[in-house]
Amino acid sequence: MPPDVNHWDATAVTVQKRCIIFLVSFNSAEFPMPNQRRNASPPNTVNRTVRKYLTAREIEKLMDYARKHSRYGHRDATMILVTYRHGLRASEVCDLQWHQVELDHGRMHVRRAKNGTPSVHPIRGDEIRSLRKLRRESPNEAYVFVTERGGPMSTIGFHHLIQRLGKAARMPFLLHPHMLRHACGYKLANDGHDTRALQHYLGHKNIQHTVRYTELSPDRFRDFWRN
């Protein structure tokens, strides 16, 4: 008679246990961690350490190199000067036309990009002389800064010009046109000009964009603790 199945000896039965391991690979791009943006690029630490503006001496060095070594030296030096003096963006200086410049009255009507506030700036003597000479060289052009083909300088062309001049002049860092606008802001802030007036001069809609210049001014606390 067969044994009762309910009383089988446990030793008579061998139970084999198998451990099955599943290898699963998670792609961080498909399963982002909390607070992680999809396809987030690594933080840019270079921009935090490299200076984003030029000093007045560096501006003069760049202009001097343009006069002596650039194919269109006077045009390039004048373009740098006008961009710096009026805190222009690359698009603003490339779009500058002669009807905006009143050489006889020493005024320039500045039109701002990015919905900025337009204004009328004074033009100093050295700038007037440079612009008069440029006008004599191109008496029939509508735009102030033109290429050899007669059209206005493009923003890409201006960027390449500043970058090339910076490398040729052995500047310690890579240059771009917006450094000239920043240079204007820091120069005027260091000279002690009122933040609100500086805001209108640069055409900022939001004054917070102007405050950064005054916050880094080395002369900001000059009158503190004066007896």
C-alpha pair distances (Å), 115 with each of 31, 204, 211: 40, 9, 19
User: What does the pLDDT read at residue 132?
Assistant: 97
Side by side, the strands of the sheet bearing 101-102 are 101-102, 107-110, 119-122
What tens digit of pLDDT does each residue of 119-163 get? 999 999 999 999 999 999 989 999 999 998 889 999 999 999 999
User: What does the pLDDT read at residue 112?
Assistant: 95
User: What does the pLDDT read at residue 40?
Assistant: 40
Distance between alpha carbon 218 and the CA centroid of its chain, in Å? 22
pTM: 0.73
Q: Which residues are catalytic?
A: 89, 114, 178, 181, 204, 213
Neighbours of 166 (CB within 10 A): 21
| pLDDT band of 216, cuts 50, 70, 90 | low
Which token pair is 198?
């500086």
What tens digit of pLDDT does each residue of 156-205 get? 999 999 999 999 999 989 999 999 999 999 999 888 888 999 999 999 98
User: What does the pLDDT read at residue 8?
Assistant: 42
User: What does the pLDDT read at residue 192?
Assistant: 85
DSSP letter assigned to residue 107: E
